[in-house]
Structure 1
Amino acid sequence: MSADDEPPDDEAFHPLGESWQDDLEELLDDTEYDTELGMEMGRDAMRVTKGELSEEEFHERYHEDVMAEFGEDERPIARSDDADGDKEGIGSTLLQLTDGDESRREMLKKAGAGLGFASLGWGAVDQQEPEPEPAVEDAGEVQDADEGTQWGMTIDLEHCDGCLACVTACNQEHGWDQGANWMYVLAYEDGQVESPDPDSVDVEPGECSQNDAVHDFNYLVRPCQHCTDAPCEKVCPTTARHTRDEGGLVLTDYEVCIGCRYCQVACPYGVNYFQWDDPNVDREELDPERIYDERGRPVSRRAPRGVMSKCVFDPTRQDGKAGEELIGTSACEQACPPNVIQFGDKNNPASDPERYADEPARSRTIINLFTALPSPNSVESSLEGVDGELDAVVDAVDELTVGLIALAKAVDLTQEEYEEEPPPGDSLPDKEQTVLDVVNAIENAGVDLESEEGIREIGLSPEQFEGPTQDVQVANPEEVAYELFEDYVDAPEVEFELLADIGTNPNVTYLGHQPGPEAHQVPGPVSYDDVGLLDKRQNALDDETVGLGFRDA
Structure 2
Amino acid sequence: MNADEPGDDSTASDETFHPLGDEWQDDLEDVLDDTEYDTELGMEMGRDAMRVTKGDLSEEEFHERYHEDVMEEFGEDERPIASPDDIDEESESLLSSLTGDESRREVLKKGAAGAGFASLGWGAVDQQEPEQPAVEDPGEVHPDEDATQWGMTIDLEHCDGCLSCVTACNAEHQWDEGANWMYVLAFEDGNVESPEPDEYESVHDFNYLVRPCQHCTDAPCEKVCPTTARHTRDDGGLVLTDYEVCIGCRYCQVACPYGVNYFQWDEPDVEREELSEEGVYDYRDRPVSRRAPRGVMSKCVFDPARQDGNHGEELVGTTACEQACPPSVIQFGDMNNPNSDPQRYDENPARARTLIRVSTGLPSPDDLPSMLEGVDSNLDAVTEAVDGLTEDSIALAVAVQLTQEDYEEEAPAGDTLPDQEQTILDVVSVLQDHGLDLTSEETLSQLGLTVDQFEGPSEDVEVSDNADVAQERFEDYIDAPEERFELLEGIGTNPNVTYLGTQPGPNAHQVEGPTSYEEVDMLDRRQEALDDQTVGLGLRDD
TM bucket, shorter chain: 0.7 to 0.9
| Number of the residue aligned with 2:229 | 240
Moved more, 399-408 or 4-13: 4-13
| Number of the residue aligned with 2:318 | 329
Which amino acid in structure 2 is aligned with residue 123 of structure 1? Answer: A
| Number of the residue aligned with 2:67 | 63
Matched, 1:314 2:303: yes
Task: After TM superposition, give the deviation of residue 551 of structure 1 in Å.
Answer: 8.2
Alignment of 1:88-487 (within 5 A): 89-90=83-84, 120-127=121-128, 129-136=129-136, 139=138, 144-200=143-199, 213-463=202-452, 476-487=465-476
Secondary structure of the equivalent of 1:490?
Answer: coil
Kept in 2: contact 1:151–1:247 (CA 8 A): yes
Q: Residues 430 and 541 of structure 1: is their aligned pair in 2 closer, same or farther, counting only changes over 3 Å?
A: farther
Moved more, 182-191 or 447-456: 447-456
| Number of the residue aligned with 2:52 | 48
Cα distance in 2 for partners of 1:233, 1:126 equals 24
Q: Give TM-score scaled by structure 2 length.
A: 0.87
Q: Residues 429 and 481 of structure 1: is their aligned pair in 2 closer, same or farther, counting only changes over 3 Å?
A: same
Counting aligned pairs with the same residue, the percent is: 71
Secondary structure of the equivalent of 1:33?
Answer: coil
| Number of the residue aligned with 1:497 | 486
Q: Residues 322 and 143 of structure 1: is their aligned pair in 2 closer, same or farther, counting only changes over 3 Å?
A: closer
Q: Residue by residue, what CA displacement relative to the aligned partner does 1:265-284 show, whole Å, maximum 9, x if unpaired? A: 00000000000111111111
Q: Residues 305 and 409 of structure 1: is their aligned pair in 2 closer, same or farther, counting only changes over 3 Å?
A: same
| Number of the residue aligned with 2:477 | 488
Q: Residues 294 and 479 of structure 1: is their aligned pair in 2 closer, same or farther, counting only changes over 3 Å?
A: same
Cα distance in 1 for partners of 2:228, 2:536 equals 27
Cα distance in 2 for partners of 1:142, 1:376 equals 45
Secondary structure of the equivalent of 1:405?
Answer: helix
Kept in 1: contact 2:397–2:428 (CA 8 A): yes
Kept in 2: contact 1:244–1:251 (CA 8 A): yes
Which amino acid in structure 2 is aligned with residue 22 of structure 1? Answer: D
Task: After TM superposition, give the deviation of residue 142 of structure 1 in Å.
Answer: 8.0
Kept in 2: contact 1:545–1:551 (CA 8 A): no
Secondary structure of the equivalent of 2:24?
Answer: helix
Task: After TM superposition, give the deviation of residue 133 of structure 1 in Å.
Answer: 2.0
* Structure 1 residues without counterparts, runs of 5 or longer: 79-88, 92-117, 202-211, 466-473
Task: After TM superposition, give the deviation of residue 493 of structure 1 in Å.
Answer: 1.2
Q: Residue by residue, what CA displacement relative to the aligned partner does 1:17-63 show, whole Å, maximum 9, x if unpaired? A: 01000000111111111111111111111111111111111111111
Cα distance in 1 for partners of 2:197, 2:535 equals 19
Cα distance in 2 for partners of 1:300, 1:246 equals 15
Cα distance in 2 for partners of 1:475, 1:231 equals 45
Give the superposed CA RMSD.
2.4
Cα distance in 1 for partners of 2:477, 2:140 equals 46
Cα distance in 2 for partners of 1:279, 1:143 equals 34
- The structure 1 residue matched to 2:537, chosen from 535, 539, 547, is 547
- The structure 2 residue matched to 1:11, chosen from 15, 19, 29, is 15
Task: After TM superposition, give the deviation of residue 2 of structure 1 in Å.
Answer: 6.2
Kept in 1: contact 2:11–2:44 (CA 8 A): no
Which amino acid in structure 1 is aligned with residue 216 of structure 2? Answer: C
Q: Residue by residue, what CA displacement relative to the aligned partner does 1:479-506 show, whole Å, maximum 9, x if unpaired? A: 1100011111110111110111000000
Cα distance in 1 for partners of 2:497, 2:140 equals 24
The count of aligned residue pairs is: 495
Q: Give TM-score scaled by structure 1 length.
A: 0.85
